[in-house]
Each structure stands twice: as structure tokens, then as C-alpha cells.
């Protein structure tokens, strides 16, 4: 394949959309991994709670941007290339994505606001902090495991 053929393939709408779809996944997974890892690390690094609370707000926006990019490109790819949506792979991927998105809504609407409230007075001895860590830890683990499972699933199957 010559350079001009490679360039022509790279500039095809389908290739560009798949790249943007993949970029959305990378953006979202990267921000999710950092945000959720911070929630899990709080148990060991309590002095960073105020910094983590501020960072989680910014990273939450990055996650939602990645999801927006994934959603818009995904909807377009489905509408233009409906042959890609048949079969167990796509259906399983959509179920996993739905779980991760619903979990992300809980993290965004319940965990992050509570984290901001607790962050200034963060101490491991506090009953409120202990309960929060358990609550946040479960949803953070679901998020990290869910996102990385989807990426591994896509990689193993060789599709985006």
C-alpha cells in the first residue's frame, strides 16, 4: 500500500469517525482511571483530600466530554453502518457501557458532592469519612473495572 492509498484511507469519514470514537474512549478512560484511583487512594493519603476534591471536579468534566465524543460518534457510526450492531459483541459492549454510564451518574451526582463536603475535614477516624470511603470505593471499583473491561473486550475482539 502506497502513501497516497494510506492517506486516502486515513481521510475517509469512517476512519476519522472510528478514530474520534476511540479518542473519546481514551479520554474518558484516562480521566476515569485518575479520578477513581484518587478516591481509592484517599484511604492511604488523607492529607490530599482537598486537592483530590478539586481535581475530581475538573476530571469529571473530562469524563463527560469523552462520553459525549463516544456517544455522538457512536450514534453516527450506528446510523451510517448498521451492519456493525448485530451480534453478541455489540450487544455485550452496550450493556457494559450502560452499566458504566449509570455508575458514572451515581459518582457524579452522589459521590463527588459528598466528597467536596467532607474533603476539608477529612480524617480517617471520622465515621462519616469511613462510610463515604466504603460507598465511594464500591462505585470507583465498578467504574475502573467496567471501563477497562470494555477496552480489553474491544482489544481482544479487534473492534472499536
Q: Which domain holds residue 117?
A: 3-157
Q: Round to whole Å and give the CA distance between 159 and 55.
A: 32
Q: Quote the pTM value.
A: 0.78
How many other β-carbons are positioned within 10 Å of the β-carbon of residue 28?
24
Q: How far is CA 53 from the centre of its chain?
A: 18
Q: Give the mean pLDDT of 10-15.
A: 81
Q: Round to whole Å and give the CA distance between 24 and 28.
A: 6
Number of domains in the chain: 1
Q: Round to whole Å and give the CA distance between 31 and 3.
A: 35
Per-residue pLDDT tens over the stretch 90-142: 888 889 999 999 998 998 888 888 888 877 777 666 788 788 888 888 898 89
Helix, strand, or coil (residue 47): helix
Amino acid at each position: 500500500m502506497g502513501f497516497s492509498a494510506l492517506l486516502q484511507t486515513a481521510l475517509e469519514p469512517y476512519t476519522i469517525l472510528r478514530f474520534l470514537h476511540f479518542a473519546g474512549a481514551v479520554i474518558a478512560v484516562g480521566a476515569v482511571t485518575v479520578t477513581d484511583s484518587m478516591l481509592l487512594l484517599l484511604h492511604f493519603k488523607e492529607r490530599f483530600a482537598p486537592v483530590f476534591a478539586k481535581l475530581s471536579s475538573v476530571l469529571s468534566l473530562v469524563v463527560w466530554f469523552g462520553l459525549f465524543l463516544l456517544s455522538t460518534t457512536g450514534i453516527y457510526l450506528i446510523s451510517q453502518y448498521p451492519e456493525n450492531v448485530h451480534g453478541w459483541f455489540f450487544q455485550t459492549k452496550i450493556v457494559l457501557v450502560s452499566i458504566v454510564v449509570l455508575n458514572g451518574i451515581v459518582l457524579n451526582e452522589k459521590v463527588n458532592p459528598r466528597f467536596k463536603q467532607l474533603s476539608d475535614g477529612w480524617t480517617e477516624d471520622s465515621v462519616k469519612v469511613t462510610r463515604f470511603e466504603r460507598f465511594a470505593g464500591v462505585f470507583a471499583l465498578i467504574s475502573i473495572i467496567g471501563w477497562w473491561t470494555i477496552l480489553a473486550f474491544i482489544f481482544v475482539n479487534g473492534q472499536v
